[in-house]
Amino acid sequence: MFRNLKLIQSAMIKLVTGIVMAFSAVSLLLGKPGWAMSSILGAVFSFYVFNKLLKSQSYVLKTKNKNNVFIPYLTRLGIIAIPLLVSFIFKDHVSLIVVIIFLFSFQFLYIIFELKKNYNRYQKRKKQWTNSEK
């Protein structure tokens, strides 16, 4: 995997782990251990899906072959289905809404990370443009 993808992955792991730990602590203080289990379940599978996404992106960039995208995509969809099925089977112990929120936590934070990075690049270019006009 490319170095910058590993840096993104490590940053996302730190951020999501902190969020899950804080949410789990608050939910345990509120007397909702099911929410804590649901957040951990969603975050673990979210990490696995995010890891598969980064590996498939790395593979496509390395081989420059876009035809090998469909199988990893189906694999990620299958992995996403597992915690949803667990939440349907164990309705009394696992909250579906919390699982869904944390199931897409890595992807959501990755989008925010990329938007922030692109906005910072835009601000640098904008500053260069305004300085060059003077």
28-45 residue pLDDT tens: 999 999 999 999 999 999
Question: Domain count of the chain?
Answer: 1
Amino acid at 20: V
- d(CA 93, CA 86) in angstroms, rounded, equals 10
With contact defined as beta carbons under 8 Å apart, do 16 and 109 qualify?
A: yes
Measured over all CA atoms, what is the biggest interatomic distance in the chain, rounded to whole angstroms?
Answer: 66
Regarding pTM above 0.75, the answer is: yes
User: What are the phi and psi torsion angles at 127 (to 5°)?
Assistant: -65, -40
The token pair at 94 is 């696992």
Band of residue 132 on the pLDDT scale cut at 50, 70, 90: low
Q: What is the domain extent for residue 64?
A: 3-133
